[in-house]
Structure 1
Amino acid sequence: MTLLRWLAESDDERPGAVRVDDGAVSWVELRRRASAVADELRGVDRVAVEATATLGTVVAVVGALTAGAAVVPVPPDAGPMEREHILRDSGAAALLVPAGGPQPVEGAGPPVVPVDPTRGSDTVHPEPDPAGTALILYTSGTTGAPKGAVISRGAVAACLDGLADAWSWTPDDLLVHGLPLFHVHGLVLGVLGPLRLGSRLHHVGRPRPDRYAAAAGSVYFGVPTVWSRIAADPDAARALRPARLLVSGSAALPAAVFADLATLTGHRVVERYGMTETLITVSARADGPRRPGTVGVPLPGVRTRVVDEHGAALPADGAAMGELQVCGSTLFDGYLNRPDADAATRTPDGWFRTGDVATVDPDGWHRIVGRAATDLIKSGGYRIGAGEVEDALLAHPGVQEAAVVGIPHPDLGQQVTAYVVGDGVDGPELIDFVARQLSAHKRPREVRFVDALPRNALGKVQKTRLTAD
């Protein structure tokens, strides 16, 4: 099984198959440039890559995979402590840096190797074992240093093939996105996907609405922050009408943004679910319905279940909330050097504990409530999903952003507390507004107004930072 099947087999020399910002190459030229990198990496087990949004990063990643080395993407904006931890913990033998990009400061880490993205080679490298490691992706956990998730070549291939089935993803497509190249969304789906499945790729650099509008793609990837900005730019949104598919992931897409995009673009956005350790496991399909606030059904080869705090299976009735667990061919092989963390995330019968709370409808559609640690609030004997309260708040015209958390309370156990970015509205009004839409016990007991919600690079709200003070 060839991981990057299309790239390995294509004889297409037409320019522009892969475009990153202002650099572009044909399939044949990308293969030759990657082969030159692979020539330099013979016998190397692991390499880190400075994962800037450049063509050089694509060449470096593909070159390392061609050589059979495990790729360790390093976020270019990582702070000194995070960077040093990733390089040391991964055991990377070298740090590949795209030539012409920002050069890291030499330190105690592995040797820095500039990658010349114009150099080519015709060496034919044997295809590595599908069970071998393709990527070591570092997760930003809520506590402790990031953990390296070890992901096999076979898991990447299984994920991409499942998405090809779900999204009718073919060589006729042009994929457009502007996502970071050090996460599953931007790197695995957004780069390795086209190289396996044959669609052309246009990475627009910074994911601005005008750049998405000008790209004339058939499939677009974005995170909710990107889609909300496009929805706020009607001209850019209307330019996406000729597309075939708009896909959102990495965080929940607000229902209001879903509705605005449907009106402006004519597309109901495909939402999907996954995480670093599982890759993408659940998605709406191109040939099926798309329901706001839901993430679809399991991909081929993936099984899911929802369990209570004792591990007992919950009914698929659309109401029972519990932890989502996953089993299948897309799962990672474990955390690098962390058998303790592996044990904590695996059930005795081999399922992965996602830590996410979900419900499943009778027809198999999944709704992600949020993280068990922050989004399942136990208040006064009730189990309350933070996402439902957030959606209710966002329906108020004076609310731009909302995040709901459980704050310790001496009587209730946890108090439903809302952090809101708003204008012309006060706390009592919002509390009453939610109480009229949902059960009274789900209303916020307190509303705290903030200038902005803390988010990570993918637009996910970092709720632990809200409550840190």
Structure 2
Amino acid sequence: MAEWIALAEVAARPVPGRVVALGAGSCLDHVGFRAEAARWRDAFTARGGERWALHFDDTAAFAAALFGAWHAGKTVCLCADALPVTVARLEAGVDGFAGDFPEACAAIALHTQANSALTGTAPPADAVGASDADSAWMPLDEQATRLVVYTSGSTGEAAAIDKRLAQLVREVEALQATFGERLDGAVVHGTVSHQHIYGLLFRVLWPLAAGRAIAPRLFFHEEIAAAMDAPALLVSSPAHLKRIPEALDWNGARTRLRAVFSSGGALPAEAATAAHAMLGHAPIEIYGSSETGGIAWRQHDTDGPAWTPLPGVDWRIADGQLEVASPHLPDAAWWRSADRVEADGTAGFRLLGRADRIVKVEERRVSLTALERQLGERPEVAEARVVLVEGPRAELAAVVVLTGEGQARLRADGRRRVAQSLGQALADGQDAVTRPRRWRFVDALPGNAQGKTTDAALRALFRPERPAPVWVRCDATQAQLELALDADLLVFDGHFPRMPILPGVAQLDWAVRFGREAFALPPRFLRTEALKFQRVARPGMRIHLHLEWLEAKSVLAFRYESELGTHASGRVVLGPAEATA
């Protein structure tokens, strides 16, 4: 079993023969890692300042720079990305940037890369020589060593969370106590970035303390399957685990994987079951947040598993919401989350959903309030609401009331171009995943009897009331179209809950609407004739709608059929618009 090293001594005490990171046909040993950390320590010391933002694509280079900065007495600001708005937000609060930032940061950026045996990049040009890299350094002070992470928080504003090394140390120790025994000698593979707290803990800090080799980040499932050539653990997320292709050869994973971890959002039970079948391990889900660190874990080896608190974490329910106290927090006070929970009757709990307006899309926390505020700043937007729409993949959807200027643009440019323009306006602060993918432009936001706009009403705007037709035939008097009755159609809601059927009023409405698409019908509905409903139509069916326009009689005849026979038929009598005085 590899020797455990306290995080405060990971870069301070030499450990000959220990492998820190792996690359393409090469490895970085502990001697090389300490040399890199020493170069970064000296470079940071030479530049002065207290707070430095780090962003590296390479995990080994990041790890060396992180410990170099800490040993230089710097507070490290862990930015999740290098987008222009992120850089602009950080500029006022940091003394410099180190790593892979855009050229726009040239005035304050540290234009260097760690001299990693894996990357072959040059050491900092002005770094002091690391002649003492083979000697012991003073261990880091757990209380004085600081890390700043950023999260959207409950208000939607980017919130800086100051963490002491002591909090990170206690969390790594809890992970080792819970899962470490099964992972000895495993290479750490991951699909998540080390620039987020989950990736930092699982792909950098825990492996460095436990003596597990860190492999480069994986992006594609083909890379994951190919990488399983030695004992391994996989640090992943629901975004990857929900999409594991069965066609790849997962025999290596089933043979060599010791554990699969997932965090950043709930993993659906069916995805966990599929991942278990292909990878040979039920994923271990970690529940927590940037503010709290890890709180609990669960594994889908049973139906509906509850969350089990990590060692040292206490929890309670107050007003239906989870409160925790743990050494991963800055003090001993109870911290209230925005998650609603219920006790499972033993020692764990189950999550019931969020009480605030922070949602997760592909494991990225997104403030709906912040998106709405950004959209509201646009001159063409009078009002905007954003919701998360579930489906095969969760997507953000925006409902927008346009100003007069916006309406003019909509008439001139069309819906698609206006939506693209609004989406692009968010691009400096949001990447493609965290911007709305679906748009609706309305005259007014939907309201209930109390005048409130509910998320349910907003989501309903993105659920079709009628299916997309497949036109089989359409001429001057005859039309035939095929309709797939998807269970998600809005018309099935409440009619009836246990055995939904297609309402007759919807069938009549569809006949007229599709009739107006096929023929030049008079505008006024007068009456129906010979209306018959003979068989119910249920979700999952595929039915045909036959339409006939009898212009001489001003009658639209319709008939719904399937392989079961006729479902409904009738005639609609239409007329000219009413005369006005």
Asked whether the two chains share a fold, i.e. TM above 0.5, the reply is: yes
1:212 is paired with a residue whose SS is: helix
Tell me which of 162, 182, 189 is aligned to 2:174: 162
What letter matches 1:358 in structure 2?
A: V
* Structural mapping, 1:106-145, within 5 Å: 106=105, 110-118=108-116, 119=123, 121-122=133-134, 124-141=136-153, 143-145=155-157
Match of 1:13 among 6, 17, 37: 17
Amino acid at match of 2:270: A
Q: Does 1:259 align with 2:301?
A: no
Query: What per-residue deviation string (whole Å, max 9, x for no partner) do you get for residues 334-361 of structure 1?
Result: xxxxxxxxxxxxxxx8211221222221
**Cα separation, 2, equivalents of 1:167 and 1:284:** 12
Deviation at 1:34, TM superposition (A): 0.8
Query: Distance in 2 between the 1:212 and 1:173 partners?
Result: 15
Partner SS for 2:243: helix
Q: Which residue of 1 aligns with 2:71?
A: 66
| Paired residue type of 1:211 | E
Aligned to 2:393: 401
Q: CA deviation at 1:174?
A: 1.7
Displacement of 1:71 in angstroms is 1.2
The letter of the residue matching 2:489 is G
Partner of 1:32: 35
- What is the rounded CA distance, in whole Å, between the counterparts of 1:61 and 1:20 in structure 2? 19
Q: Which has the larger radius of gyration?
A: 2
Are the counterparts in 2 of residues 284 and 295 from structure 1 also a CA contact under 8 Å? Answer: yes
Question: Does structure 2 retain, via aligned residues, the 8 Å contact 1:166–1:284?
Answer: no
Alpha-carbon separation, structure 2, partners of 1:434 and 1:11: 68
Aligned to 2:310: 299
Distance in 1 (CA, whole Å) between partners of 2:63 and 2:496 is: 47
Distance change (3 Å), C-alpha of 1:404 and 1:34: closer
SS at match of 2:323: strand
- CA–CA distance in 1 between the matches of 2:24 and 2:194? 13
Aligned to 2:327: 329
Number of equivalent positions: 377
CA deviation string 1:21-53 (max 9, x = no partner): 787411221122112211233365322112324
> After the TM superposition, which residues 73-222 of structure 1 pair with which residues of structure 2 at under 5 Å, given as runs?
73-76=78-81, 78-89=82-93, 91=94, 93-97=95-99, 103-106=102-105, 110-118=108-116, 119=123, 121-122=133-134, 124-141=136-153, 143-168=155-180, 170-203=183-216, 205-216=217-228, 217-222=231-236
Distance, in Å, in 1 between the alignment partners of 2:248 and 2:54 is: 37
Greater relative contact order: 1 or 2 (C-alpha under 8 angstroms, separation 6 or more)? 1
Partners in 1 of 2:279 and 2:495 — Cα distance?
30
Q: Which amino acid aligns with 1:368?
A: L
Answer whether contact 2:286 2:296 (CA < 8 A) is retained.
Answer: yes
Alpha-carbon deviation of 1:54? Answer: 4.4
Q: Are the counterparts in 1 of residues 194 and 200 from structure 2 also a CA contact under 8 Å?
A: yes
- Which 5+ residue runs of structure 1 have no aligned equivalent? 309-321, 334-348, 377-392, 438-469
Mapped partners of 1:102, 1:21: distance in 2: 24
2-side partners of 1:282 and 1:142: how far apart?
21
Match of 2:56 in 1: 51
Contact 1:7 1:28 in 2 (8 A): no
- Displacement of 1:330 after TM fit? 0.3
Could you tell me which of 353, 368, 378 is aligned with 1:370? 353
Q: Is the 8 A contact 2:9 2:140 kept in 1?
A: no
Q: Which amino acid aligns with 2:170?
A: A
Q: CA deviation at 1:147?
A: 1.2
* 1:207 match: secondary structure: coil
> For residues 496 and 168 of structure 2, what CA distance do their matches in structure 1 show?
42
Q: TM-score, normalised by structure 1?
A: 0.70
Find the aligned partners of 2:210 and 2:176 in 1 and give their Cα distance: 7
Q: Distance in 1 between matches of 2:7 and 2:42?
A: 18
1:381 corresponding residue in structure 2: none
Residue segments in structure 2 that go unaligned for 5+ positions in a row = 117-122, 124-129, 360-388, 398-444, 469-483, 500-581
Q: Deviations over 1:407-434 (max 9, x none)?
A: 9852486463466799962414774699
CA contact (8 A) 1:237 1:261 kept: no
Question: Relative to structure 1, is the Cα distance of residues 211 and 5 closer, same or farther in structure 2, using a 3 angstrom cutoff?
Answer: farther
Opposite residue 105 of structure 2, the aligned amino acid is E
Aligned residue number for residue 508 of structure 2: none
**AA of the residue aligned to 1:198:** G
Q: Distance in 2 between matches of 1:156 and 1:273?
A: 16
**Aligned equivalent of 1:224:** 238
Do the aligned partners of residues 52 and 268 (structure 1) sit closer, same or farther apart at CA in structure 2, a change above 3 Å counting?
same
Q: Measure, in 2, the Cα distance between the counterparts of 1:57 and 1:23.
A: 17
Q: Quick one: distance in 2 between partners of 1:411 and 1:115?
A: 60
C-alpha distance after superposition, 1:285-320 (max 9, x if no partner):
7xxx74466562111111111211xxxxxxxxxxxx
Shift of 1:5: 4.5
Displacement, 1:149?
0.4
SS in 2 for 1:168: helix
Structure 1 pair 235/68, CA: closer, same or farther in 2 (3 Å)? same
After TM superposition, give the deviation of residue 163 of structure 1 in Å.
0.8
Instruction: State the 1:276 CA deviation.
Output: 0.4
- 1:355 counterpart = 2:357: no
Instruction: Report the 3-state secondary structure (helix = DSSP H, G, I; strand = E; otherwise coil) of the residue aligned with 1:219.
Output: strand
Judge conservation of contact 2:236–2:262 (CA < 8 Å) in 1.
yes
2-side partners of 1:133 and 1:260: how far apart? Answer: 42
Q: How far does residue 113 in structure 1 lie from its aligned partner after superposition? A: 4.3
CA distance in 2, matches of 1:201, 1:177: 9
CA-CA distance at 1:9 after TM superposition: 4.3
Q: Match of 1:300, SS?
A: coil
The Cα shift of 1:371 comes to 2.1
In the TM superposition, residue 140 of structure 1 has moved relative to its aligned partner by 2.4
Q: Distance in 2 between matches of 1:140 and 1:23?
A: 38
Task: Determine the C-alpha separation between the residues in 2 that align with 1:176 and 1:8.
Answer: 25
Question: CA offsets, 1:101-149, max 9 Å, x none?
Answer: 56532366x4424134245533533122211243100112464541110
What is the distance in 2 between the residues matched to 1:41 and 1:102?
Answer: 17
Greater mean deviation of Cα atoms: 249-258 or 118-127: 118-127
Q: TM-score, normalised by structure 2?
A: 0.57
Q: 1:275 and 1:20, CA in 2 relative to 1: closer, same or farther beyond 3 A? A: farther
* 2:242 counterpart SS class: helix
Question: 1:373 and 1:20 mapped to 2: Cα distance?
Answer: 42
| Residue pair 2:218, 2:224 contacting (<8 A) in 1 also | no
Structure 1 Cα separation of the partners of residues 396 and 328 of structure 2: 31
Q: Identify if the C-alpha distance between structure 1 residues 435 and 103 changes in structure 2 by more than 3 Å, giving closer, same or farther.
A: same
Larger mean CA deviation between 153-162 and 131-140 belongs to: 131-140
Cα pair distance change 1:256/1:40, threshold 3 Å: same
**Aligned-partner residue type, residue 281 of structure 1:** I
Kept in 2: contact 1:159–1:279 (CA 8 A): yes
Secondary structure of the structure 2 residue equivalent to 1:52: coil
Q: 1:125 to 1:113 in 2, by over 3 A?
A: farther
Is the CA contact 2:154–2:356 (under 8 Å) kept in the aligned structure 1? no
Check 1:209–1:4 CA distance in 2 against 1; reply closer, same or farther (3 A cut).
Answer: farther
SS in structure 2 opposite 1:59? helix
Q: Do 2:21 and 2:28's aligned partners in 1 also have CA atoms closer than 8 Å?
A: yes
After superposition, the Cα gap between the structure-2 partners of 1:58 and 1:81, relative to the gap in structure 1 and judged at 3 Å, is same
Q: Does the CA contact (< 8 Å) of 1:140 and 1:146 recur in 2?
A: yes
Does the 8 Å CA contact 1:59/1:117 hold for their aligned counterparts? Answer: no
Cα displacement string for residues 61-109 of structure 1 (whole angstroms, at most 9, x for unaligned residues): 1221333322112334x432221212323x3x32112xxx56532366x
